[in-house]
Structure 1
Amino acid sequence: MPDNVQGPGNGRTALRADCANCFGLCCVALTLTRSADFAINKSAGEPCGNLREDFRCGIHSELRTRGYPGCTVYDCFGAGQKVSGETFDGQDWRGAPQTAGRMFKVFPVMRQLHELLWYLTEALSLEPARSLHGEIRRSLDETERLTHLPADALADLDVAAHREEVAGLLLRASRAVRATAPRGRKRDRRGADLIGARLRGADLRGVDLRGAYLIAADLTGADLRLADLIGADLRDADLRAADLTGSLFLTQAQLNAARGDTATKLPSSLERPAHWAR
C-alpha cells in the first residue's frame, strides 16, 4: 500500500484536491443545474465560463457571493490531479482534444475510487474494528490498484459494484466502533428525514446517520462522537458548538456545506471552513 494512504490526517495527502495540478476537471466534466447552488446550467463536458486558460477558477475567492456555493462544497478527494497527471500523463484536454471524452468519463470514476480510499484509510485507523483490519487493508490495496488502471479500463469499470462491496465492509467497521458508545448505542437513523430537525444539544453518540437528510437541522451543541455520518446531507446544518471528534467517515465537503463556529470540535484530519462564524 502506498505511503500516502497509510493513515488519517496528514497521511491522506494524495486524497486531497490539488487544483494547481489538475486540468480543471470538476469545472468541465460535471453537469451543473441552475439552482441555489449554481448560477448557471452547464452540460457535462462543457467548460464553465469562469474557468481560466490556466485551468484555475476566475472567481474562486467569490464563489459564494457570485452564486456558486455548490462549488465550495465539492471535493474530488485528489482524483483531479490523479487523472490529469497519471492516467493521462499530463496531457490536457485543451492541448490534446482527442483525450477530452475519455478524460471526462474517467474523472467521476476516479473520484468515487478516491472517496473510497478516504473512508478505507479512516477505517484502518479505528481500533475497535481491529479484527477487520486485514480485510480493510486488502480492500484498500485493491481500490488503490484500480486507480492505476489505464483510462479505457477505468472508463469501463463497474465502480458501483466495487462501492457496494466496500460499503458492506465499512458498515461492519462502523458497527464495531459504535458498539463502544455509552450504553452500546447503535440506533439506526440511516437515511432518515431529519430536514430542519431540532436536535440542539442532542446526545447522538454512536447513532447511525448514514445517508440521513440533516439539511438545515439544528445540531447546535449536539454530541456526534462515534456517530456514523457517511453520506449524511449536512447542507446548512447548524453545527455551532457541536462535538464531531471521533465521528465516523465525515468529509471536508460535508463540513463545508454546514454552518459552524470556533466552538465546533472537529476531527484532526479536517479543517475548519473559512466561511464559518468566528
Structure 2
Amino acid sequence: MHDLKADCASCSGLCCVALPFSRSADFAVDKAAGEPCRNLRDDFRCGIHRDLRREGFPGCVAYDCFGAGQKVTQVVYAGRDWRRRPGSAREMFAVFPVVRQLHELLWYLTEALALPAARPLHADLRALLDETGRLTRATPEEILAADVAACRERVNPLLLRASELARAGLRGKKRRGADLMGANLKGADLRGADLRGAYLIGAQLKGADLRQADLIGADLRAADLSGADLTGSLFLTRSQIGSAQGDTATRLPPALDRPAHWSGR
C-alpha cells in the first residue's frame, strides 16, 4: 500500500523550498523556486503552521503533496536532506514535483480500485498502479526522465471509465468543465453529477447533495460546502477540501479528514 498522506516529520521541507509562489490571496509574499520560505525552521517545520491562514498563507493550508515529500526524502534520497547535501539540492528540488504528480495519479488509481463497480477495470488499474509506484522509487535520473504527461494519458481513460461505471443509473447532471463560479447551488441535487474540471470558485453549495459526484480537477476554492454531503464522491482530494469552506455538518469520504479551519463554523 502506498503512503499517500503527507508526513512532514519525515520530509525535509521540500514543498517549502522547491516550489515557487507569488504574492496573492493565497500567499503573503513572493518566493522563487529553490528558495526556502522565510517561515521554514531549521528542523524543516513551519514556524507559523498554526497561524498560516491568519498570516496570509491559505495556499499552504490547502497544498497536499500526496506523500511525495517523505518518498523523495526517505526513499529516493535515502534520508539525505538538501541542507546536509547541498550538492544534491537542485536535483532534489526538480525530482520532488515530478514525484508529487505521480503520487497524485496513485491517489486516483487507488480510489478507482476501491470502487466495486469498476471491477472490470481492476486488472488494468492495478497494472498502472504498480508501474507508477515503481517509478516513484526509481533513481533521480529515471524520475527526471519520466514522461508524466504520457502517464496521465494512460491513466485518465481508465479513471473516466471507472467514474462512468460508479455513477451508472444515477442520471447525474453533466457539468464537466462548467463555469459555476459564484453559482447559487444551495441544496442542489448533484448526486452522480459529472463535475470534472468544473469551476466552482466561491460557489454556494450549502446543503448540496454531492454523493457519487465526479469532482476530479474541480476548483473548489472558497466554495461553501457547509452541510453538503460528499460521501462517496469520486476523486476528491485534500487540496480541494482544504481550499473550500465547510462545517461540522459537512459529510466527507472516509479517506479525507475534516480541515482544521472548518472547526469554528
Q: Please, what TM-score do these two structures have when normalized by structure 1?
A: 0.93
Deviations 1:112-132 (A, max 9, x none): 111111111110010111111
How is 1:202-213 mapped onto 2 (pairs within 5 angstroms)?
202-213=188-199
Alignment partner of 1:134 out of 111, 123, 127:
123
Identity %: 66
Deviations 1:185-222 (A, max 9, x none): 15321111110001011111111111111001000111
Instruction: Answer yes or no: is the 8 Å Cα contact 2:172–2:190 preserved in 1.
Output: no
Q: Please, what TM-score do these two structures have when normalized by structure 2?
A: 0.97
| 1:46 aligns to 2:32 (yes or no) | no
1:60 aligned residue: 49
Query: How far apart, in 2, do the equivalents of 1:156 and 1:134 lie?
Result: 26
| 1:215 aligns to 2:204 (yes or no) | no
Please list every run of at least 4 consecutive aligned residues from structure 1 whose deviation after the TM superposition is greater than 6 angstroms.
none
Query: How far apart, in 1, do the equivalents of 2:172 and 2:252 lie?
Result: 22
1:173 aligned residue: 162
Query: How far apart, in 1, do the equivalents of 2:192 and 2:243 lie?
Result: 22
Instruction: Answer yes or no: is the 8 Å Cα contact 1:220–1:242 preserved in 2.
Output: yes
Query: How far apart, in 1, do the equivalents of 2:142 and 2:76 lie?
Result: 11
Deviations 1:169-200 (A, max 9, x none): 1011001111132xxx1532111111000101
Alignment partner of 1:124 out of 96, 100, 113:
113
Alignment partner of 1:256 out of 238, 242, 260:
242
The count of residues paired between Structure 1 and Structure 2 equals 264
Query: How far apart, in 2, do the equivalents of 1:98 and 1:46 lie?
Result: 15
Look up the equivalent residue of 2:84 and give its one-letter code.
Answer: G
Instruction: Answer yes or no: is the 8 Å Cα contact 1:193–1:214 preserved in 2.
Output: yes
Alpha-carbon offset, residue 98 of structure 1: 0.8
2:104 aligned residue: 115
Query: How far apart, in 2, do the equivalents of 1:180 and 1:17 lie?
Result: 36
3-state DSSP of counterpart to 2:260 = coil
1:9 aligned residue: none
Deviations 1:18-47 (A, max 9, x none): 000101000000011000100111111111
Say what the alpha-carbon RMSD is for the aligned residues: 0.9
Query: How far apart, in 2, do the equivalents of 1:239 and 1:187 lie?
Result: 18
Q: Which residues of structure 1 form unaligned runs of 5+?
A: 6-13
2:13 aligned residue: 24
Query: How far apart, in 2, do the equivalents of 1:188 and 1:145 lie?
Result: 35
Query: How far apart, in 1, do the equivalents of 2:199 and 2:210 lie?
Result: 15
Q: Out of 186-195 and 211-220, give the one that drifted further.
A: 186-195
Deviations 1:222-271 (A, max 9, x none): 10011000111101101011110010001111111111111111111111
Q: Which residues of structure 2 form unaligned runs of 5+?
A: none
Alignment partner of 1:156 out of 129, 145, 152:
145
